Amino acid sequence: MAAAVGSDTPAPSGGESIEVKVRGTLRAGLMAIGGETTGYAIQARGVAWELDFGTDAALKRKADALDGKAAIVTGTLEVRPGVEMKSRSIVKVDSLAAADGAPAGSPAPRAK
């Protein structure tokens, strides 16, 4: 018999984690009812994840500069309980970089 997993389930022990790399459009300056947001998110393929930069002011400045642009974020995915939303998917960011303009896997332009 399988056990149901939900937001009331305690965090797994043993150092388990979900490492993610997301390439999408970064948004800064977000607001939500009751302040229930980190203020930053990245969206890819119709799914949005909040971004948590902790106290890293340099990453926050970089995110502000990339607002509305393609970016690549790496970090650890966390699901936190919310008030307005039952659960919030948040990436605790390790790195942030601008994404190049070409879609992933596109060949480089040929020289004439």
The residue with greater pLDDT, 6 or 31, is: 31
Burial per residue of 48-75, b for 16 or more beta-carbon CB atoms within 10 angstroms, e otherwise: ebbbbbeeeeebbebbeebeeebbbbeb
| 106 residue type, one letter | S
CA–CA gap between residue 112 and residue 75 (Å, rounded): 40
Question: Which residue's structure tokens are 């969206």?
Answer: 43
pLDDT at 58: 95
Report, as an integer, the average pLDDT of 100-105.
49
Q: What percent of the chain has pLDDT over 70?
A: 75
What's the topology of domain 19-98? Answer: OB fold (Dihydrolipoamide Acetyltransferase, E2P) (2.40.50)
Task: Decide if pLDDT at 112 tops 80.
Answer: no
Q: What is the pLDDT of residue 82?
A: 80
Q: How far apart are CA 76 and CA 89, in angstroms?
A: 10
Q: Residue 42: count other Cβ atoms within 10 Å of its Cβ.
A: 25
Report the pLDDT value the prediction gives residue 71, as an integer from 0 to 100: 97
**What is the percentage of the chain residues whose pLDDT exceeds 90?**
54
Q: Is the pTM of this model over 0.85?
A: no
